[in-house]
Structures are given as C-alpha cells and as structure tokens.
Amino acid sequence: MELKHESNSQATRGRHVEILTGNHAASHAARMARVDVVSAYPITPQSPVVEKISEFIASGEMSARMIRVESEQSAMASCISASITGARVFTATSANGLAYMNEQLAWAAGTRLPLVMCVVTRALAAPWSVWTDHQDAISQRDTGWMQVFCEDNQEIYDTVLEAYKVAENDNIFLPIMVCFDGYILSHTTMPVELLSQNEVDTFLPSFNSHLKLHEKIDEPVGVNPVTLPDPREGFPGYMEFRYRLQKTIEKAIDVFEDIERDFASLSGRNHGGVVRGYKMEDADIAIVGMGSASSQAKKAIPHLREQGIKAGVLTIRLFRPFPKARIREALKNVKQVVVFDRDVAYGLEGAISAELKSALYNRKHQPHVQGFIVGLGGRDFKTEHVIHGTKMAMEYAEKNEVPDETKWLGVDK
Amino acid sequence: MVDYKDPKSTIAAVQVPSEGEAGKTGSWRSFKPVFNPEKCILIKSEKARCHICWMFCPEVAITKSRPPTINLDYCKGCGICSTECPHGAITMKKE
Ligand code: SF4
Ligand code: SF4
C-alpha cells in the first residue's frame, strides 16, 4: 500500500527530470500515454522496458492490462486482438524476437492497427549475439510498419509519445516501431525530462479506432476475411487494400512533421522531423547514418573539419516511410555522400546506402554515394572508422569510381 | 450502409457475416449439432441472457432467438457452438 501511495503521487507530478536508461524512458512514455494493454515476451536487451511497465502496473501507477504469453508471435497476436477492440497497445522486442513476430507484423499493418512497438536493436542470430546493430529492424522494413530511429534517451521518450499520435492519426492508422540501439541507449542512463501528465493528455487524446468494434457488440463482424483478387459487389479486392496501405504510409511523412511541430511547441524540444542535419549548412560531404551510427559520425566532424574536410551529418530519423524528398533537399548542396550502415541487405549492400541511391536516381543533382558496413553484432564503430571511410570515399569520388562490391570497416578480413 | 468505394470506411477488410456468405456449407458436414432445449439457459430461465452459440457460429447458421435455431443448410458441422455452449445444450452427432 505504501508503494502505491508513493507512486500515485508521481502521476500528479509536474514536468521534471529523471535519470533514466533508454529502456526506462520508453516505459515512462508508455505509462504516460495511458496505454491500455501491454503484451510482450522477454528478450535481451529489451526486457527492462516491459519489466518497468509491470512495476508501474503493480504499484497502481498504470492501469494497463499485461498479457503474458509464451512467445513473441503470441505477443504480437495479443496486441493485434487488443488493438482491434479499440485499446491503445504497447509492446517491445529485439532481434530474433522481432523476427519471430514477422508474420503477425504483416497482419498488424494490413489491419491498419496503430500499435507502438519499441525495437531495442540487436544483431540477428546466427551466430548468437546480444549486442547492437540494426539488422533486426531493417529486416522488417517491408511489413508496412513505420520505423523511427532514436539517438538519445530523451528522443526515445518523446518519440514514443509522438509515435502514438502519428499512428492513431485518422489519416494514417498504421503501426510504428520506435527503434533504439541495444546497450548504447537501452542500458545507458541520461537525464530525461518527463512532461506532466496533463501535458501528455492534451497532446495525446484517447484512441479512436477505425474499427469501433466495442460499439458494435451486438453486430459481430469478421476482420480480415479472405479477400479476392478482384473487387466484388460492395467489397474491395486485396490489391485495393494494399494500394491504400502504400498511399497512406506515403502521407505519413507530412503527418509526422506536423506532429513533431506540435510536440516541439508543447515540450520545447525539436528532433528535426524526419531527417536531422548536423553541420550541414556549409558541408561538401554528408555522412549519413541512423541511431548510434549517426551519433558516432558527429564525433568525427571536428576532426574532419580540422583536416579541411567540410563534412556534416545527416541523420535519418524516419526510415519507413523513407523520406526521399526531404533527403534530396538536405543533400542538394553536397558533392558527396558517405553512408554508414549497421546492417546488410544481404546480397546487395547496406540498406540505407541502397535506398539513398534510389532516392537520388533520375534526378539532376546526383552526388557520389559510397556506403560502408560497420558495427555489426556490437563491434565498436569508432571515430577513426568514420574518418577512414570518409577519406576512402573521397578517393573513389575523385577517381569517379563506384565499386560494386561492399566495403566493410573494422572487420578482420 | 458502408460505402466500400470510400477508403475511409474500408481502412481494413471487415466483413459483416451473413447466412450463405460462403455458399451452401451444409454439404460439408459429417457431424451435425443437435440442440437440447432442456439444457439451454434461455429455456430454463426467462430472464437469462446468453446466445454464445450465435456469437461464435462462423457461418451465422444460428439465430439470435429464444430458443436459438440452427439452419442446417448452412451449418458446416464445425462443432464450435457445441464447444462454446457453457450449458452443454448442443451436442454433435455423426450424420
Ligand atoms: S456446428 Fe455450430 S458453430 Fe459450426 S456451423 Fe454448425 S451451427 Fe455453426
Ligand atoms: S450457448 Fe447454449 S445455453 Fe447459450 S443460448 Fe446457445 S444453446 Fe443456449
């Protein structure tokens, strides 16, 4: 009882700063978003997100229902069912847990359910690894989910709140992954400013589901029946639903930016919208990355500039939908782009560098793009790798070379 | 009525079930549900509410009446009603 008394007082606290790990920043955001249902299965490095939530529920600070399951596939299935009934749902996972959800992820997106899931990024086995890279999240990029990557713990807290607002927007209704690096953020403490509950409630009104099944308890409907190749009397075909999914996710870039502006005016914090530039104003060379890869790139900028190399960093915050036009705009003055991928689209190259090239193709301004694979399975991605890679890329650009084979840094070949 | 051309009203594929939606599924049956009125809670008490069988039947072959009736033209014999009925009022018999 004492615990309950103590923690309930937290609900009425105003805006204040706490020292939190990335995982706990996510838990606090889920609590303050007044999530109704949480279902998850433990996996390193995600587990503390949901452990903290279960403490909040036990102490009465959160009135959510926790559904315990035997696997990630079931976790996602429970989240889907809960969301269909109109509940606001939260879950979190990592690596092979996320891979195990794959089939259900496609159901969630196809049913247009605004789930928010933290993906605490970790290398996909085999071989077994518990350390960070972005392979788990990147491997799910074609499921119809939106994906945002964070760079610090404050951004995690803020992005989870923004994610609900984007996902539940009545022009969107799509699930979203809030991705952040395992250990580098998940287990590292930083000061995080929590908004007051009043501020969060104003920013994030309750969820109004498009399915409204809770209003139709006496008129049962079937969700996701067999949908035929062609439309028939009164019912669209499979392709119509998939067309709407793609058209909707395309719209999410503008919606995300609008919501970021709203959030910035409420909180005073602006994370840059869908892409974020650092020292890009006068840059000749843009270094592109996501999450920990982009944080590391920023560390290298003073060293590169000391050597007369005018480099800046472009952080891709929203990876799905891929903000092609915003990226082109941000790169319009650079001669050259260097991409650091903590992932591999196996058989091709790093996913970000491949997608970036497709965003630039068939356009007037086509800077030279060179990608590098770095930091897989928690291998340190260091400032020296950024500097070395940038110089290698400059040599290729000078010779007008675009090597077909992938370039890896920091690996014993 | 839902306007199926309007993307807003068909964000996800939702189907209002109706009798015969999948054809005359009664021909699929190898077991048939037999309704035992003396066990049905709706017969035993005028005040009772239930209709769990109606809610669960995937073919909409059970009516929401007192007592519920089963349309064997569309009942495919899946046995869900029999499993879900909390009072054992529906039993499955081999055809
Ligand atoms: S067995 Fe029962 S649930 Fe199944 S189709 Fe027939 S009436 Fe419906
Ligand atoms: S579920 Fe059983 S008790 Fe309930 S209405 Fe149907 S037959 Fe009667």
pLDDT in tens, A40-69: 999 999 999 999 999 999 999 999 999 999
Query: How high is the pLDDT of residue A10?
Result: 64
Cβ(B70) to ligand 2 under 6 A? Answer: no
Question: If you measure from the C-alpha of residue B81 to the centroid of ligand 1, how many angstroms do you get, rounded to a whole number?
Answer: 6
Number of domains within chain B: 1
Q: Which domain holds residue A88?
A: 10-211+248-267
CA distances to A149, A280, A367 from A385, rounded to whole Å, are 21, 20, 21
Atom of ligand 2 nearest to the CA of B39: 3
Tally of CB atoms within 10 A around A150: 27
Check which CATH number belongs to the domain holding A367 and give it.
3.40.50.920
- Position A207 in a domain: yes
- Is residue B79 very low, low, confident or very high in pLDDT (cuts 50, 70, 90)? very high
Partner residue opposite B12 with nearest CB, options A111, A220, A235: A111
Number of domains within chain A: 2
- Is residue B1 very low, low, confident or very high in pLDDT (cuts 50, 70, 90)? very low
Q: CA-CA distance, A210 to A113, in Å (whole number)?
A: 9
Instruction: Please count the residue pairs, one from chain A and one from chain B, whose beta carbons lie less than 8 angstroms apart.
Output: 50
- Position A404 in a domain: no
The answer to whether B59 and B44 have CB atoms below 8 angstroms apart is: no
Residue A329 pLDDT exceeds 90? yes
Partner residue opposite A223 with nearest CB, options B2, B7, B12: B12
Give the residue carrying structure tokens 């709407």.
A244
Closest CA to A145 of A185, A172, A180: A172
- Position B19 in a domain: no
Comparison of pLDDT for A329 and B22, the residue scoring more: A329
Mutate to test the interface with A, among B15, B52, B56, B80 (most CBs of A within 10 A): B15
Check which CATH number belongs to the domain holding B48 and give it.
3.30.70.20
Identify whether residues A52 and A176 lie together within a single domain.
yes
Check which CATH number belongs to the domain holding A31 and give it.
3.40.50.970
Residue A2 pLDDT exceeds 50? no
Identify whether residues A252 and A348 lie together within a single domain.
no
* B chain contacts of residue A223, beta-carbon cutoff 8 Å: 12-15
Mean pLDDT across the stretch A243-247? Answer: 95
- Determine, for residues A112 and B12 on separate chains, whether the beta-carbon distance falls below 8 Å: yes
Identify whether residues A152 and A197 lie together within a single domain.
yes
| Burial A81-119, CB ≥16 within 10 A → b, else e | bbbbebbbbbbbbbbbbbbbbeebbebbbbbbbbbbbbb
Residue A304 pLDDT exceeds 90? yes
Give the up-direction half-sphere exposure of residue A89: CA atoms within 13 A in the CB hemisphere: 28
**A residues 208-247 near B, CB within 8 Å?**
210-211, 219-225, 227, 231, 234-236, 240-241, 244
Cβ(B60) to ligand 1 under 6 A? Answer: no
Tokens at residue A269, please? 């914090």
Mean pLDDT across the stretch A329-347? Answer: 98
Pocket test for ligand 2, best of B69, B85, B92 (most atoms within 8 A of CB): B85
The answer to whether A35 and A13 have CB atoms below 8 angstroms apart is: no
- Determine, for residues A221 and B7 on separate chains, whether the beta-carbon distance falls below 8 Å: no
Query: How high is the pLDDT of residue A293?
Result: 97
Tell me the shortest Cα–Cα distance from B19 to chain A, in angstroms.
13
- Determine, for residues A223 and B13 on separate chains, whether the beta-carbon distance falls below 8 Å: yes
Cβ(B42) to ligand 2 under 6 A? Answer: yes
Would the CA dihedral through A327, A329, A333, A335 be positive or negative? positive
Q: CA-CA distance, B87 to B81, in Å (whole number)?
A: 11
Atom of ligand 2 nearest to the CA of B52: 1
pLDDT tens for A73-106 read 999 999 999 999 999 999 999 999 999 999 999 9
Identify whether residues A286 and A206 lie together within a single domain.
no
Cβ(B26) to ligand 1 under 6 A? Answer: no
pLDDT tens for A116-146 read 999 999 999 999 999 999 999 999 999 999 9
A8 touches chain B (CB under 8 A): no
Mean pLDDT score of chain A = 95
Residue B77 pLDDT exceeds 60? yes
Side chain identity at A182, as an amino acid letter? G
Residue A340 pLDDT exceeds 70? yes
Q: Which domain holds residue B54?
A: 26-94
Identify whether residues A165 and A305 lie together within a single domain.
no
Identify whether residues A191 and A303 lie together within a single domain.
no
The answer to whether A177 and A119 have CB atoms below 8 angstroms apart is: yes
- Is residue A11 very low, low, confident or very high in pLDDT (cuts 50, 70, 90)? low
Query: How high is the pLDDT of residue A5?
Result: 43
Does the predicted interface ipTM exceed a cut of 0.90?
no
- Position B39 in a domain: yes
Partner residue opposite A211 with nearest CB, options B2, B4, B14: B14
- Position B8 in a domain: no
Identify whether residues A122 and A180 lie together within a single domain.
yes
pLDDT tens for A368-397 read 999 999 999 999 999 999 999 999 999 999
- The least confident of A112-121, A203-212, A253-262 is A203-212
Query: How high is the pLDDT of residue A6?
Result: 43
- Determine, for residues A241 and B13 on separate chains, whether the beta-carbon distance falls below 8 Å: yes
Query: How high is the pLDDT of residue A411?
Result: 97
- Position B10 in a domain: no
- The least confident of A38-47, A227-236, B6-15, B68-77 is B6-15
Mean pLDDT across the stretch A28-45? Answer: 98
